[in-house]
Chain A
Amino acid sequence: EAGVTQFPSHSVIEKGQTVTLRCDPISGHDNLYWYRRVMGKEIKFLLHFVKESKQDESGMPNNRFLAERTGGTYSTLKVQPAELEDSGVYFCASSHLPGTGTTDTQYFGPGTRLTVL
């Protein structure tokens, strides 16, 4: 079974540019999450999709961040315009819906390292 995949693995952009990160969850996982780790600090929750719907976006830092999950499969996270403080590693994770006999374990992708210059 393929794991969570993310693209690109690294992105280096100038301040003010736009970047779009992509996440492909494990097949059959309806829950999809975005997290980020900034400057070696703790990994923080950004938002949660259940299928194509945003269940919780309380961790999104501001309106420069836009996440979508059209069709309930892969998700994109767009940063527009990017600022220096957006640099960090962006992780995606997926899990089953509760009640399907599985635990609430989230499986993480390798992350996208974003550097804003």
Chain B
Amino acid sequence: GNSVTQMEGPVTLSEEAFLTINCTYTATGYPSLFWYVQYPGEGLQLLLKATKADDKGSNKGFEATYRKETTSFHLEKGSVQVSDSAVYFCAQAGGFKTIFGAGTRLFVKA
């Protein structure tokens, strides 16, 4: 069945470091791909999305490119801030269900 696999955390970085959180998916068809973020004490927020191959989603300095050939949607940011500390979820939606990865917790140290 369809699934999402993302790198296990926690990931700990210093401020201004480069961030990559890997995400791969298995799917029948061509799902839309998403990154959601959950900041401490808050709910899930849509961070970015891509709806077809080679699309790049971007928001708040984060980027992810829909790679059909590698079935990946890796999240990147060039320079993280302490305020980026959160749990990041990769997800796919090919119909009405959204299928999530297990989440990756990011800690950014000042």
Interface residues of A (CB under 8 A from B): 6, 31, 33, 35, 37, 40-45, 48, 55-56, 59, 91, 93, 103-111
What's the minimum C-beta distance from A31 to chain B, rounded to whole angstroms? 7
B77 on interface, CB distance cutoff 8 Å: no
CB-CB under 8 A for A43 and B51, given A91-B43, A109-B43, A110-B43: no
B44 touches A40 (CB 8 A): no
Number of interface residues of B (CB under 8 A): 23
B89 on interface, CB distance cutoff 8 Å: yes
Q: How far is the CA of A49 from the CA of B26 in the complex (A)?
A: 25
Residue of B nearest to A6 (CB): B43
CB-CB under 8 A for A42 and B36, given A33-B96, A35-B98: no
| Tally of A-B Cβ pairs under 8 angstroms | 63
Interface residues of B (CB under 8 A from A): 4, 32, 34, 36, 42-46, 49, 51, 89, 91, 93, 95-103
- Say which residue of B34, B49, B102 sits within 8 Å of A42 (CB atoms): B102
Q: How far is the CA of A45 from the CA of B4 in the complex (A)?
A: 13
Task: For A44, list chain B residues within 8 Å (CB).
Answer: 100
Task: For A45, list chain B residues within 8 Å (CB).
Answer: 97-99
Please name 7 pairs of A and B residues whose Cβ atoms are closer than 8 Å in the assembled complex, sorted by A: A42-B4, A42-B100, A44-B100, A91-B43, A105-B49, A108-B44, A110-B42
Q: How far is the CA of A19 from the CA of B101 in the complex (A)?
A: 27
